[in-house]
Structure 1
């Protein structure tokens, strides 16, 4: 998708200090309770540092999620440590890291963060742990002796997502050889929030949000990333770039894998100035969709991402969101050559990293993960994908297409000739599908076609935007479907496992 929602502006001002202690009682344990101490340990004009100490007073727990609300709308978390911080409006959620999730009775852990605010900086007054409000003491509960009459709404755990590989024209489970179709959603935010100085993500990216996704039977999540944020260039606010951004991405991707969901990590926005035909912006920074990856930063980005996830072949690499070099070069033939070979491409003022070079970059790290590449026309044109297909030493190369109601290739005859033909030779997935009218008539027909051809699909997007300005599947992060989103939700209920 080319257009993206703007993130919230960052808040700035002076700061006050405060401490709060509380206890809470998760109903899921026999004896539960904890103390929570929130303290401002440093302050400066426009920002502050907060520390939160948690002591488990009840039975041992193996994982935890802390929640609280800032009292004002201007208080923001900009960077955290010892936990994964996400913020939606005034609500902040912190989930444990792999090394501090287990807390025995009377054991403690602490998390910290850098924040910003304006006006006043009051202390949060209520905390929750694992969804239960702090009450000031421990509670002993007795499990019911009979089974509940209402079945659980969350699907049972299925274990970690499987390692994948290409076998002929199919994606398969590397261990069992079973065919894997990608059914799921895109999770936008990581491509724009950081470069705009508004955090790492757009909305919650924690265990609770993934649990909600699983109620839709989502089994694949595409995670758009920003090249400059990953590399931590000078164009990105330091709090949201480099190691801090990388750690956020790694945490979320690994959490998806642990929950049985296939992550697709992709480079969405990249560096390089382009002002030619169909330009999304005139900015040299990675703030919009460019026609091709740049040779300056893209190889370093993919070296870093491949090193981060090599050995975890449940993770798929999507090299670039939506190429459109033919808009710059003037015709499809020159566009496909630029697509594969890169270098100096007519009409593109920066040096291009062609997809052959990026495949080579990934494989040079030793990563054998499946690599996906889209076609021309914003990944809507696969007409010559097979002709210009890059070589891959591992044989783990797949194609993807994006299809919306406003695209050129938006009818069954085009899908048959381009996507269906390509899918006879290599695996093809529709990694973005959608329509911009808040309805689902178009995607229903598209999913009918895809189901008949054994092709999976991912809806754009699991974000709470106005679905009439851009396809948005949900109206809140409890998973309430928009009218458009209901079409995908209903279909996943019947085709996804």
Structure 2
């Protein structure tokens, strides 16, 4: 779903959940503050790769340029980096400032991130030098987290069995709930991480509607901590905020659906949402530069949590850029240099491979063309999933092309006969719920899943928004979903 104007979003921006990984200033054995401190962390790790970050703090005179060096002990290699110029010679890694972040005043900090490869062991570097000066005197490096904190087990572990989603006991599960928008746009706009509160009371209000799933849209630049994102809303801060929200969702027995919503890549063609190269609007397809890295990191973070579901990309629309339907579906599956799209595209197969390359076996959702409203050739072009946990994702609003029972019968029913089908977004812009009532009936009759857009306090005609308050007070549109969920899940 495209979003309301920024002015409307800012009017409802609320509390921001931040869980940082910053350490207290390092002090030497003599009690003196070191000339510089470096916090090294591994924010995600999988079978052959990992994501790392460094935070450099200068405790001496201001610097007009900086260069940090450290050594890997186990043959690790930096493969890609951001927010700094990364290079490696043998075991020695060097990360130097970009033109825009070379100034480092007394007490100031700068952060940079990277992707790397490893084999056998991934020990944390033990010595760092900033412009030749040793940092972290008498300090121990931060530990390497290899797995996310365990959840409380309230949310069911899910996998695909035939055309159903089932739990560990083989019981069929439907995903019935809401979207919780905010994580895709607040950070890139520089205002926070979430739009409104995400504390326990706010998540309990969703559960009180008898929802059992919450879709959480994300932003790849914020997750990866790229340089255009404010540090307080980027990288480890963003990742930990997402992990914290996922834990709360699962604590109330609900399935978290983690979804890549906004991505990098400049597109100015037909139906462009913006001309910005950054992840500030919906692009026609994910990008090869960052999207596979995003999913490698997300998957490594949550691969030990079988309750978490991954939704690869919000609303693909390569059909608006290409000249033929065949080209659009080929672009959707295989990516590459797609007609009409100026950046290199990551296809759905690339993203499935990125997830599975970490060892993650979580359920994966993939939406079709026309903003996920067209599944007419989804079965023909569906990516190969070695884990066999692939789900078809569908979005429908009253203003879409495929928005009636005739189209659903002809294009959705054949897909739902072979794989699980989840309507990741359902909604209407009428401030009523007659259309969504029809959608829910069609999906209920076939024992399928659906999630209402969106659990945010926007105007119901421009959002559309389900609530007027984060205590769960519904809009005239949202009351239809609330009452229906309570009726079928008493």
For 1:407 and 1:177, locate their aligned partners in 2 and report how far apart those are by CA, in whole Å.
35
Shift, 1:4, TM fit? 4.0
Shift, 1:215, TM fit? 1.2
For 2:14 and 2:473, locate their aligned partners in 1 and report how far apart those are by CA, in whole Å.
27
SS at match of 1:430: strand
The one of 279, 302, 324 aligned to 2:317? 324
For 2:21 and 2:320, locate their aligned partners in 1 and report how far apart those are by CA, in whole Å.
46
Alignment partner, residue 256 of structure 1: 249
Alignment partner, residue 234 of structure 2: 241
Shift, 1:326, TM fit? 1.0
SS at match of 1:329: coil
SS at match of 2:159: strand
Alignment partner, residue 2 of structure 1: 2
After superposition, what is the alpha-carbon deviation per residue over 1:442-485, rounded to whole angstroms, capped at 9, x for unaligned?
10111111111111111000000010212100001111110100
Over 2 Å off, 4+ runs: 3-10, 73-83
SS at match of 1:194: helix
Indicate how the Cα distance of structure 1 residues 308 and 76 shifts in structure 2: closer, same or farther if over 3 A, else same: closer
* Residue 216 of structure 1 pairs with residue 201 of structure 2: no
Shift, 1:79, TM fit? 5.1
* Residue 172 of structure 1 pairs with residue 173 of structure 2: no
SS at match of 1:334: helix
Alignment partner, residue 225 of structure 2: 232
Alignment partner, residue 269 of structure 2: 276
The one of 287, 292, 295 aligned to 1:294? 287
Alignment partner, residue 109 of structure 1: none
Indicate how the Cα distance of structure 1 residues 244 and 215 shifts in structure 2: closer, same or farther if over 3 A, else same: same
> Greater RCO between the two (CA within 8 Å, min separation 6)?
2
Unmatched runs of 5 consecutive residues or more in structure 1: 11-72, 84-157
Shift, 1:496, TM fit? 2.9
Indicate how the Cα distance of structure 1 residues 284 and 184 shifts in structure 2: closer, same or farther if over 3 A, else same: same
The one of 169, 178, 181 aligned to 1:185? 178
Check the 8 A contact 2:16/2:197 in 1, yes or no.
Answer: no
Shift, 1:330, TM fit? 1.6
The one of 302, 306, 309 aligned to 1:313? 306
After superposition, what is the alpha-carbon deviation per residue over 1:322-348, rounded to whole angstroms, capped at 9, x for unaligned?
000011112211100000000000000
SS at match of 1:291: coil
* Residue 415 of structure 1 pairs with residue 408 of structure 2: yes
Shift, 1:81, TM fit? 4.5
Shift, 1:254, TM fit? 1.6
Alignment partner, residue 425 of structure 1: 418
TM-score (norm 2): 0.71
Indicate how the Cα distance of structure 1 residues 426 and 238 shifts in structure 2: closer, same or farther if over 3 A, else same: same
* Residue 352 of structure 1 pairs with residue 345 of structure 2: yes
Check the 8 A contact 1:187/1:223 in 2, yes or no.
Answer: yes
Shift, 1:209, TM fit? 0.8
Aligned residues: 361
Indicate how the Cα distance of structure 1 residues 429 and 301 shifts in structure 2: closer, same or farther if over 3 A, else same: same
* Residue 381 of structure 1 pairs with residue 362 of structure 2: no
Indicate how the Cα distance of structure 1 residues 77 and 249 shifts in structure 2: closer, same or farther if over 3 A, else same: closer
Check the 8 A contact 1:316/1:372 in 2, yes or no.
Answer: yes
TM-score (norm 1): 0.70
Shift, 1:163, TM fit? 0.5
SS at match of 1:317: strand
For 1:489 and 1:262, locate their aligned partners in 2 and report how far apart those are by CA, in whole Å.
17
Alignment partner, residue 111 of structure 2: none
Alignment partner, residue 334 of structure 2: 341
Check the 8 A contact 1:7/1:196 in 2, yes or no.
Answer: no
Matches within 5 A, 1:34-45: none
Check the 8 A contact 2:333/2:381 in 1, yes or no.
Answer: yes
Shift, 1:6, TM fit? 2.2
Matches within 5 A, 1:107-122: none
* Residue 458 of structure 1 pairs with residue 460 of structure 2: no
Shift, 1:159, TM fit? 6.3
Check the 8 A contact 1:8/1:198 in 2, yes or no.
Answer: no
* Residue 198 of structure 1 pairs with residue 191 of structure 2: yes
Indicate how the Cα distance of structure 1 residues 209 and 329 shifts in structure 2: closer, same or farther if over 3 A, else same: same
* Residue 438 of structure 1 pairs with residue 431 of structure 2: yes
Alignment partner, residue 31 of structure 2: none
RMSD over aligned Cα atoms = 2.2
